[in-house]
Chain A
Amino acid sequence: MIAALLEDKHLEELLRARVRQLLESGQISLFLGYERQESLPGILPSSVPCIIRDPSDVARLVFDRVCHRSLVKYLLDLPTGGDSKERRAGLVVRGCDSLALQRLIQDHRVSREEVYLLGIPCTGMVDKRKLSKVYPQSPSVSLESILDDTCLGCDTHNPVIYDELLCEKVSEAPSSVVDFVQVRRLEALSPDERYKVWEAEFSRCIRCFACRNVCPACDCRQCTLESNDPGWITKHTSISEQFMFHFIRAFHVAGRCVGCGECERVCPMGINIGELNRKFMKDIRELFGRDNPKMPRDVEPLGKFNPDDPEEFL
């Protein structure tokens, strides 16, 4: 029953057929998609990124509601330049993925011409934690009850860029439905209380960098966190350094975060990283009037200015 909720066999068939054509015709040299992991007893079904190069492998491809990772950052691993044909990659993009890809394109890390996009209007992925509470015992659950929170608040179900769509667009929730309930709740606290909250959160951080590595806005060739000079952070994990790490990470994606929620999903320690990103989103919207702060532009809010910006520093 739950398995049926997760799958869309028809869509999968379309996807496989189309990828086979693209690979056979040589339009793309590889395809970035998802495959179902081998099913393990008692363990939630999970689909993981895979790269298909041989048309005979397309049967591995799936698209279901447990395709959690975004594929776009894998593009950065592919060889570039010269006569490398690897970069002519096809990939699946949902709404959030298309924003993430747009981010990489605007940052000149990927060029639009080297990717072929199969767009899939998406109505949400399930939350592994919610799913684990009902899987596999509960006979019937509603999809709504196990969807990921980020997906429930999504306002970009349909891809914003694509070469073709594999199915009909879905109706979009009104733009800017991102609410900032948690941010407002934190803002209402006193500085000391807020510091305590973040101190408790950051003290769990183990600096595994999963949040950075999964983030489509973290696409620098050389990360400042790995530079020894001036060495903004070291491998020492004092609470002070944890604050510095999270300050840097959040500030570097301020105005560039596409709101995909991946950082929160991958954090093994359950740190509320998203509330840092959403704070910037909220302030950017309030201060600079950006109606949809998630939509990547060629120049981001911190890369430009308006002479009439709010003045608080006179």
Chain B
Amino acid sequence: MSATITVDLEELETQLAGDVSRRFDVYVPVDENGAVVFRRLTTPASGWLKRSVSLTRSVLPANKLLTPQTDPVLRFQGGPTDYEVSDAAASTDLVILGVKPCDARALKLLDKVFADESDIDQVYVERRQKTVLIGVACEKPEPTCFCKAMGVSPWSSDDCDLMIYPMQGLEGLALKCSSDKGQAFLAGMHLTIRELPAETSEEIEAHYRAIPQPLSEFVGHPEALSLDSFELPIWGRISERCLSCGLCTYLCPTCYCFAVVDKSLGERGLRARCWDSCMFPDFLKMAGGHNPRPTKKERVRQRFMHKLCYTHERYGQIFCVGCGRCVEKCPVGLHFVDVLSQLRRELAGGGGDGL
């Protein structure tokens, strides 16, 4: 793609908070009580850009802004016989700044689900088209990060429109454009741009390449599971400690399940797509009371088979980008890396030995 450039940090900050914020909804990561969350940029204190690009990965993946937890579909109004329905699905021009390469890759995976030629989710596609992703290369990965093992490079600009390299020792802020949309967006800001010589560009890449990610080496390159893995005894064993909360699925950048839920207040109502989790006991429960996944064993198996097998069968890819959120946050350590290494042992014939 295009060459690496630098821009003036303050100039970019002013543009984003000013003119860009008038044309787009700009979301940036902020630190709230130690939890990094994306918030709409409204009245930022100066210096926000520097703070935002230096933050570690957000608790909720950036890409969840395109599939919000409560996503309106339609509104209804009126009585039982005479009612009106109106479209409530909306997409806005969005700029998400501070997207980590893992979350950007997750969007590429979600494209397969929602924007595949045979299977198009119109609202998602619109949002995708109207969103400018400004990535930030990972200066300081978390110990729980293992994106390299999942084929994501923490400095790659491939999945974003623009990429920021918040590396020290450069004059200005290093940027790279990686799409036409990014190019147009950058041009629209009329910043003073300085092209970097090729050597500096290589230095930058070398700098990021050299940042270690020990967990990735441990994980290696996981292989997809075959459908036969459905019957492995491991599922019963590892699921015993699951709490049946939805934390792992809600924090996962590649989880996308939702339920369509109507809520009515008097004569007005809203139908929305709301996040749902296969870890909840009532996820598949049917009206007649039958539950195809009645115990933790079936539910935990579903989570891992979905990511490691079903998505691979259907889309040719394991649905994990190695962001490490489940590794960090699962209350009982029932996370991707742990399960992968147990599976590896089990498939190698180790059986139940040394969980």
Contact = CB atoms under 8 A, between A and B. Distances in A.
A51 B246 contact: no
Secondary structure of the A contact surface, majority rule: loop
Interface stretch (A2-10, A111-119, A166-174, A231-239): A231-239
B35 A210 contact: no
Contact of A60 (B70, B296, B354): B354
A42 B331 CA distance: 18
A200 interface: yes
A187 interface: no
Contacts of A35: 355
Interface string A126-158: 000100100000000000000000000000000
A40 B337 contact: yes
A235 B261 contact: yes
B218 interface: yes
Given A50-B240, A50-B241, A234-B261, A42 B143 contact: yes
A208 interface: yes
A236 B263 contact: yes
Given A35-B355, A214-B243, A206 B214 contact: no
A43 B143 contact: yes
Contacts of B32: 200, 204, 270
A43 B354 CA distance: 19
Contacts of A42: 143, 214-215
Q: Of residues B70, B143, B263, B332, which shows the largest number of chain A Cβ atoms within 10 Å of its Cβ?
A: B332
A213 interface: yes
Nearest to B277: A208
A48, A204, A214, A268: residue with the most chain B Cβ atoms closer than 10 Å: A268
Interface in A158-205: 200-201, 204
Contact of A268 (B59, B69, B263, B277): B59
Interface in A247-274: 265-266, 268-270, 272
Nearest to A35: B355
A58 to B, nearest CB: 13
B296 A235 contact: no
Range class of the B interface residue count:
35 or more
Interface string B229-249: 000000000001101111100
Interface string A40-52: 1111101011110
Contacts of B334: 48
B355 to A, nearest CB: 7
Given A48-B241, A213-B244, A237-B70, A206 B250 contact: yes
Nearest to A73: B243
A226 B60 CA distance: 24
B305 to A, nearest CB: 21
Interface stretch (B153-161, B197-205, B267-275): B267-275
A47 to B, nearest CB: 8
Task: Categorize the interface residue count of chain A.
Answer: 35 or more
B195 to A, nearest CB: 37
A268 B240 contact: no
A279 interface: no
B176 to A, nearest CB: 28
Interface string B314-341: 0000000000000101011110011001
30 contacts: A35-B355, A37-B333, A38-B338, A38-B341, A40-B218, A43-B327, A48-B241, A48-B334, A49-B241, A50-B240, A50-B241, A51-B240, A60-B355, A69-B332, A77-B296, A200-B32, A207-B250, A208-B247, A234-B261, A234-B263, A235-B261, A235-B274, A236-B270, A237-B274, A266-B245, A268-B59, A268-B329, A269-B37, A270-B34, A270-B35
Interface of A: 35, 37-38, 40-44, 46, 48-51, 60, 68-69, 73-74, 77, 129, 132, 200-201, 204, 206-210, 212-214, 226, 234-238, 265-266, 268-270, 272
Interface of B: 32-35, 37, 59-60, 69-70, 143-144, 214-215, 217-218, 240-241, 243-247, 250-251, 259, 261, 263, 270, 272, 274-277, 280, 282, 296, 327, 329, 331-334, 337-338, 341, 354-355
Give 3 closest A-B pairs by Cβ, nearest first.
A235-B274, A41-B214, A210-B245
